[in-house]
A and B are shown apart, each in its own frame.
Chain A
Amino acid sequence: MEVLQLLISGISLGCVYGLIALGFVLIYKATEMVNFAQGDIMMLGAFIAYTYMNVLGIPFLWGVPATIATMAVFGVLIERIALRRMIGEPPFAVLMITIGLGFIFRAAAGAIWGNEPKSIASPLTGGVLRVGELTVGYENIAVIAGTAILCAALYAFFRFTRLGIAMQATSQNQLAAFYVGIPVKRIFSIVWALSAAIAAVAGILVAPVSLIDPTIGFIGIKAFAAAIVGGFGSLPGAIVGGLIVGIAEQFAGLYGPAGSADVSAYVLLLLMLFVRPEGIFATIQRKKV
């Protein structure tokens, strides 16, 4: 029973990692940029949800779309102000820019909302589902269900819509995509909006489960581990990787030595890089000369 209980909390945690990883993968898939600030964007999303719901008193059901819309606009702003100029620059520079942006967001959040942990009450808070000896909080179920819905929607988007296919084309070859008439720059903006919106969803789902403060963005790094374990650039891989990392973390916390829960994600990541660097759902082929 204990194992099952751990498994469920692991899955719920893993879904959060998976959601952030989805944001990474999305941006990577469409723009070939790696966005290190994804965790911090999620943090901002959670804080904006907090502002709308707890400070301004907007009801939860209206607060959610408002948060998502705000973050989508924010995503476009990031792209227009900072990353648009970096098209064509080496990937390293882009990576460093997003790291810098992450630091700025964290400092800004600390300045605006303070460093004390905050919490958001959702309609589901406090509810518990009991099945036999298992107890699962409604929020955890919400996290799992929300992730599943979002994944299905994204999969359909990339598979069937014109925009989704244009995004894939852009990521595979920017110049060729431009030649066949895809507005590459606009695609980039849309991708950033989408990814920030996903981060906002992750933030809203996380906020009721754990307290929010400006440093929760650091779980973005664990989400990174998840994305790589799953195979960077693969949407289902991001979720599967997130689940693996989340479950491993729960079990390491109970059965491993002190402190192993904190490092389990990174150990897993390094092992993966040694054993199968392309991840579970491989999307890259090694270059041969």
Chain B
Amino acid sequence: MNNSTVFDELYGRYKSSLYSLACYLTRNQKEAEDLFQDTWLRIAKHLAHQTIDIDNCKTWMMTITSNLYRDWLRKKRVRKSFSFQKSNPDGQTGTYLEKPMWGEKACLENDPKHLEVKMALSKALAGLPPKQRLIFVLKEIEGYKYSEIGEMLSVPEGTVKSVMHRAIRKLRKDLWVYNPKKAIIASV
């Protein structure tokens, strides 16, 4: 099979899932686009050197995205330490939230009461520390197992579990006001 044909096949199959992963990780349209492009360019370069099993390469592609995201975070941290810019305007620990994932358009179709909860969840997700968000997204949104995430990120399974627990604890804490019983905070 020709390189271009393989690329076409891969691009057609996985472009949407990689874009959504990039969006969930960066929480920023522009940065998600950059991450998406970098991922595909990396894949295109790999195509020339590697044997690729088209049917089973989603995990590999997700690993590339995750690694690029971690590189990008590292660079961002270095850049931040050398600049005198103020912290994010929304005061979140995560990246600057330009557009929440659940936009008004998507929420209006459903029950308007849920709009607030969905927006809050979107904000809570954005507020997760990057490492927790990465693992949470891979586990809950992409549906990978702990062991697979561990392999993808080259971290022990135990670390993945503990980070996941911390992420859920933080989300519960951030969303407790939206629970009708409003008693969750006591258990966190």
Q: Do A and B come from one complex?
A: no
Binding site for A on B (CB under 8 A): none
Binding site for B on A (CB under 8 A): none
